[in-house]
Amino acid sequence: MRNAIKGSLVALSFVLVTGCEMMPPPVQSNARIRVVHASPDAPAVDVCGNGAVAFAGATFPGATDYAEVPAGTLAVNVVAAGSDCATDGVIVADLPLAADTDTTVVAANLLADIEPIVLNDDNSDPAAGSAKVRFVHASPDAPTVDITLVDGTTLFDNVAFKGVGDYIEVDAQTVDLEVRDETGENVVLTLPGVTLEDGTVYTIYAIGLLAGDPDLDALITVDNG
């Protein structure tokens, strides 16, 4: 009887061990995240994720590449470049990041009021022969604006500070763009010769200051490159 029980236990152990060996390892689900430094008077910053530096020395105006991180909640802490990640940051946020998604965190506003704009990115391909574009208003002293062609055709209408003009698809081409105040009459910034290539996803950020230094300008990123 004792030998029978012992034999059964050995057989069970073999099944358990063999079964464990046959089970594939769990697949790690990841997300991607990047940072845009759009705070015109803020110094270079390090962006920490879960206590470790994810992006070092991000400067205005600029955008990092995407970094791949495990899906889940990412504890973000934005600190002066070279500071320890345990330092109290100018931006502290817990970001839920779903698997297989892209997220952009924009450090926006003046340093005294710096805050994040969190964007859900759609980097799927546009239709053949087209580019995909969105607009983010990140200039703290600029009014609500329209983005138009030089003939007045409106691409993005009445976008306020911290607002986002949703993705649109346009024919691949080189265009001259204008940033106009909400009346649609007054041009506050011209963007000549903007090339929108076939199959490419772009974000246009209004950055800088309308009445200050640095001047109002645009940062254009290629998002699916």
pLDDT at 225: 81
Those residues with Cβ within 8 angstroms of residue 183's Cβ, 6 or more apart along the chain or in another chain? none
Helices (H), 66-225: none
DSSP 215: B
- Cα–Cα distance for residue pair 91/100, rounded to 1 Å: 25
Counting as low any pLDDT under 70, the low residues of the chain are: 1-28
Number of H helices, E strands in the chain: 1, 17
CA dihedral (89, 90, 94, 100) positive or negative: negative
Residue 12: the pLDDT is 35
Q: What is the pLDDT of residue 74?
A: 98
Give residue limits of the domains in the chain.
28-121, 122-225
Contact status, residue 131 vs residue 125, Cβ threshold 8 Å = no
For 221, the 3-state DSSP assignment is: strand
CATH classification for the domain delimited by 122-225, as one of 2.60.40.1120, 2.40.30.10, 3.40.1010.20, 3.20.20.70: 2.60.40.1120
pLDDT for residue 184: 83
pLDDT score for 182: 85
